[in-house]
Each structure stands twice: as structure tokens, then as C-alpha cells.
A and B are shown apart, each in its own frame.
Chain A
Amino acid sequence: MTAPTPLVTRTTPETGSRGLIAGVGLLVATLTVASIAVGYAAIDLPAALGDWLAGRATLPALVLMELRLPRALLGGLVGFSLGLTGAVMQGYLRNPLADPGILGISSAAALGAVVVFYGGLAGSLSLALPLGGIAGAALAALGINGLAARGTGTLGLILAGIGLSSLAGALTALALNLAPNPYAALEIVFWLMGSLADRSMDHVRLCLPLMALGWILMLSTARALDALALGEDTAASLGFDLVSVRIRIVTGAALAVGSGVAVSGAIGFVGLVVPHLVRPLVGARPGASLWPSGLLGAALVLGADLVVRLLPTRPELKLGVVTALVGAPFLIALLFRREQGR
């Protein structure tokens, strides 16, 4: 053909997204520090840190290490999981409306925790609740992976997820309906709204390894997600084993989101909105959006959790309520702008 031969120029934005990752990473670090500094009791942070380093179990040291630090760490971990999983789901399903819960994993995790609540085990063991949530997510992932291994297409996967979500939602409603007393039902409802309050380092130790494994599995699919932008046949022709990709994504999402829901309840909209914010900044390449989406998710959850604590409402607003209140109008505005842009 007759085009002039162009100069060999850079075609990759990988260096550009490195700057973005550094920028959002800095934001996350700042918000983590802010999250540690903000709380209901005013404490002298340097003194508290000094006490703890010196091994003195003073009250400020305990507040820092047992309350503030786990809350900030969980905010970052849960947010990263939600942002990353949202970006992976949207890339994998080639659907901008996909969110971390689309495969039904969040609902199943919530159901697992509710079953524990309902069974009255939550009182006997502090980690019973998150363990129940993780069990729910694991069962859901096994079911979805069973479908994925049989070669069900992405549409089949979405339908299975919708079915699973509905079933888990129905069973959760059943548990509420049969709750022994109104107080138990209220407790379940509040838990489902999502919160990072009163979590301990035990929660961090429980979910961190599971989440990290989930992140690794999902991040390993970055290139396959790029190739999937051109469809499943093209991705397969470019050498990607799509069954393996599916299993890594479903398992990774179950580990990250399942353990996230298990420790913090349901925090909506973060995973749905974050990839939309990141996409224009990374040239819309799905694989390049993973790290920035995870980091921005962490920043968003940390920020929302700060807002929750700074607002004068008592008892404090649930985190999931705040992210939904901010996220929903934002999403509507985004879709509106997108339609106008056509």
C-alpha cells in the first residue's frame, strides 16, 4: 500500500502508566497516614509510635497498633482488591458495567457471613464471621470454576453469576426473615452495609495472604486481557489459554473480593467506578489499567473511610453507604457524558 514509511516510534504507554502508578501510589500512602492520624480519640502519634517501639503497652500505643493501623491497612487492602477486581472483570467480560460482584462471589461471601451470624457462632470466635464469608466465596468460586472448566463462554459465566447472586441474596433475605429477634436482623443489615470500624490485626493477618494470592493470579492475566480486547478467538490465536485465564480470574476474584467482603462487609461502587476513571489515563488498554485501578480503589476506600470518621454523624455512617452515595451519581454522570460523546 502507498503510505509513506513512518519512523519507528514508541507505541507503548507503559512508561506513561508508570507515572500514574507512582502518583496514585503516593496518594494511597498519604491517605494511609491520614487514616492513621484521624480517630475519635486524639493521640500523640509520634509518642504512641515511640511507646510501641519501646515495647511500652501504653494506651496511645494500643490505640495506634490495635485500632488505627488495622483500620487503615484494611481500607487499603479491601480498596485495592475491589479496584483491581473491577478492572479485571470489565476487561475480561469486555463489559464496562461489570463489577467485582458480577460473578456472585460477593453475595456468596455475604451469605456465608450471615449464616455464621445466624448460627450464633459470631460471638464465640472473633474471626468466625470472616471465615464464614471466605467459605461462602470459596464455594461460589468452585461452582463458577466448574462451569468455566467446561468451557462455558463469558455470557454463560455472567448468567451463572446472576443466578448465584440471586440465590445468595434470597438466602440472605431468608436468614433475615427468620432472624430470632429484631436486634439480630438489624445487626446483619448493618454488617452488610460495610464498615472498617473495630477491626483488628487478626483480620489483617487473615485476609492479607488470601488477597495477595488473588492479586497475583489476577495481575498475571494482564496480557491476556489486552488480547481479549479483540475477542476470544483472537486472544486464543495469540497463544493465550482461555480456560486457564478464566480459572485464574475467577479464583483470584474469589480470594480478593471474598476475603474483602468477609472482613468489611459489602462496599459497593468502588470496583465499578474506578476502572472508568483509570481507563482514559492508560489509553484504555485493559492490562495497563490493573495496577492503577487497584491503587485508586485503595485511595477511594481510604478516603471514604476518612469521611465516615470526620462527619459528625453518630453512630458513624457505614462505609458502603458512603461509597454508594458518592459512586452512584458519579456513575450516572459518567454514562451521561459517554452518551453525549458519541
Chain B
Amino acid sequence: MRLAAEELQVRLQDRPILDGVSLSVGSGELVGLVGPNGAGKTTFLRALAGLVPPFTGRILLDGRPLSAIPRDERARRLAVLVQSAGIGWPMRVAEVVALGRLPHRRAFAPLSEADHAAVARAMARADVAHLRERAEPSLSSGERMRVLLARALAVEAEILLADEPITALDPAHQLDAMDLLRAISRAGTGIVAVLHDLTLAARFCDRLVVLSEGRIVADARPALALTDPLLQAAFGISVLRGTHADGTSYILPWHRSGRLREDDP
């Protein structure tokens, strides 16, 4: 199972947004898509999901062009969590999550036992099972984010594309969500997640793809991708680097400028 973009060019209103980007994600991989605001991350993710047609280049799912795969099959194999998603009506959380089962249901068929089980699993994993009877207006933005993540998980697709899945979450739930994404990828799902928190992205992802001004400037293991020159060129920041007692290394965005000051460690 592999989703691949080859030499993708995407234009929106005749403005080039992505310029020849390629990316490949396979089963069991957690890929972080990072980059400054306006780099084209969201457009890239939408293109991977088949929501924006590429100007040139192509997207392949197991070698087949995405555009040649029937909609319902695509919907079962590719789950998408979009960034701007809200919940339009005061629907119960359990029903919102159950929307993720729509691609699996035949016309007019009610939720099957398997659907109910998938919904319950997704709610438990995203820590929203206790919210199941609550409705939209009473959810906090973090709770809403987790509900929508649960909705995407309920699809139980082979590939999960998530746009900023942890942005609205508190630190505890950010850690939970990253743990969850890693656990799901270890169970076989291929994941591309747009992330802004470089510390968490570097710590949890198998690979980081760095996007800058519509081009990919790095695609490697986090330690190899987030070098000092790249962070300065792409993000305009410098980071602190350290090593936890258990041997894992971490980075921490520290300065806006390109250079570390002398009084810093």
C-alpha cells in the first residue's frame, strides 16, 4: 500500500502553489509535512487526497492514478482530516464520528455491527468516548478537534491524511494524539500529517518532508531533515538541541533570527 505524488504542480487561480513536489508514503509510515505558513502544505495534502486537481504530475495509489479509482473505493482507502473542518449542525458526537463509516455503507443500509465497533474504537482512541452524547455547540475547540480526528479514524483507511491534527490541543492531548498517530501507523496505516510543532514532529515522525515556497527542501529522517541551515533558510529560526536521559535527541525552536546568541547554551 503506497500513496505517491510525482512531480506535482498545483495552481490555484493561476498562481503556482506547488512546483514539482514528490512524496511517497507507505503502510506503517508516519510522515510529518512541515513548513512555514504559506508554503503550500494544505494544498499539498488536499492534492494528495484528490481534492484539488494537479496542473501537471500525478498521484498514484498502489501504482494506479488516483483519478482512475472509483470515488467510493478511494473514500474507503484514503481518510482525510481537513484543517478548516467544523461541525455544521448540533449533531451528537457519536453521530459525527459515525459519518466516517459512510464510505463503508451501502445505500439505505443502517450502521452494521462492524460500523458500530469501528465508531467505538475510533472514539476510544481519540479520547472522546465520554463526549458521545454531547453536541457541537458545547464542545471546546480541542474536543472538537479530537471528535473530528475520531471521525477520520472511524474510516479505518489504509492511508490517513491529516491537516494540523494537533494544533488546537492542549499539551497532554498533543502528546496523546502524536502517540496515537504513531500507534496507528505501527498497526499498518500510512499517515501524512501537517504539523507546526517541530519538537513533536521531530520526535514522533519517521520522516519529515519540509516544504518551502511550494518546493520540497528536505525529505528525510527528522535528524537529517531539520539541519541548522535548513531551519534558518526555510523557517528563519534557530533551535536548541538536546538529548534526553534515555538517549533520544530533541529540538526546541528558540530564536527568530538565524544565529544563536553567545550567552545561550
Main secondary structure of the interface of A (DSSP, over half): loop
Q: Which residues of B contact A6 (CB under 8 A)?
A: 120, 123-124, 129, 132
Binds A, one of B7-15, B97-105, B209-217, B218-226: B97-105
B82 near A10 with CB under 8 A, answer no
A12 within 8 A of B: yes
Query: How many Å from the CB of A94 to the closest CB on chain B?
Result: 4
Q: Which residues of B contact A236 (CB under 8 A)?
A: 50-51
A313 within 8 A of B: no
B88 near A230 with CB under 8 A, answer yes
A286 within 8 A of B: yes
Counted as pairs of residues, one from A and one from B, with CB atoms less than 8 Å apart, the total is 133
Interface residues of A, count at CB 8 A: 37
A11 near B97 with CB under 8 A, answer yes
Q: Which residues of B contact A231 (CB under 8 A)?
A: 82, 84-86, 88
A2 near B127 with CB under 8 A, answer yes
Q: A227 to B103, alpha carbons, bound, how many Å?
A: 10
B262 within 8 A of A: no
Q: Which residues of A contact B98 (CB under 8 A)?
A: 11-12
B97 near A223 with CB under 8 A, answer no
Q: A4 to B129, alpha carbons, bound, how many Å?
A: 8
Q: A231 to B82, alpha carbons, bound, how many Å?
A: 9
Query: How many Å from the CB of A93 to the closest CB on chain B?
Result: 10
CB closest residue in chain A, given B111: A12
A5 near B120 with CB under 8 A, answer yes
CB closest residue in chain B, given A2: B127
Interface residues of B, count at CB 8 A: 58
A228 within 8 A of B: yes
A284 within 8 A of B: yes
Q: Which residues of A contact B46 (CB under 8 A)?
A: 233
Q: A205 to B20, alpha carbons, bound, how many Å?
A: 60
Q: Which residues of A contact B79 (CB under 8 A)?
A: 237
B125 near A1 with CB under 8 A, answer yes
Query: How many Å from the CB of B235 to the closest CB on chain A?
Result: 27
B95 near A283 with CB under 8 A, answer yes
CB closest residue in chain A, given B115: A11
B116 within 8 A of A: yes
Restricting to A222-249, which residues have a CB under 8 Å from any CB of B?
223, 226-231, 233-234, 236-241
Q: Mark B75-99, 1 if CB is under 8 A from A, else 0.
A: 1101110101111111110111111
CB closest residue in chain B, given A239: B75
A237 near B119 with CB under 8 A, answer no
Main secondary structure of the interface of B (DSSP, over half): helix
Query: How many Å from the CB of B53 to the closest CB on chain A?
Result: 10
B36 within 8 A of A: no
Restricting to B117-166, which residues have a CB under 8 Å from any CB of A?
117, 119-120, 123-130, 132, 135-137, 148, 151, 155
B72 near A239 with CB under 8 A, answer yes
Restricting to A282-311, which residues have a CB under 8 Å from any CB of B?
283-286
Given A12-B95, A238-B102, is A233 in contact with B51 using a C-beta cutoff of 8 Å? yes
Q: Mark B43-83, 1 if CB is under 8 A from A, else 0.
A: 00010011100000000000000000001101110111010
A1 near B180 with CB under 8 A, answer yes
Q: A237 to B97, alpha carbons, bound, how many Å?
A: 14
B176 within 8 A of A: yes
B88 near A238 with CB under 8 A, answer no
B113 within 8 A of A: yes
B247 within 8 A of A: no
Taking each of A229, A283, A342, which has the highest tally of chain B beta carbons within 10 Å of its own beta carbon?
Answer: A229
Task: Determine which of A2, A8, A14, A286 lies in contact with B120 in the assembled complex, contact meaning CB atoms within 8 Å.
Answer: A8
Q: A237 to B102, alpha carbons, bound, how many Å?
A: 11
Query: Can you list 22 pairs linking A and B with CB atoms under 8 Å apart?
Result: A2-B127, A2-B176, A4-B129, A6-B132, A8-B113, A8-B117, A9-B120, A11-B92, A12-B98, A12-B110, A94-B88, A223-B107, A226-B99, A230-B85, A230-B96, A231-B88, A233-B46, A233-B49, A233-B80, A237-B51, A283-B95, A284-B136
Residues of A within 8 A of B (CB): 1-14, 91, 94, 223, 226-231, 233-234, 236-241, 279, 283-286, 342
Contacts A8-B117, A285-B95 known; list 10 others, CB within 8 Å. Answer: A1-B125, A10-B111, A11-B116, A231-B82, A233-B51, A234-B85, A234-B151, A237-B49, A237-B75, A284-B89
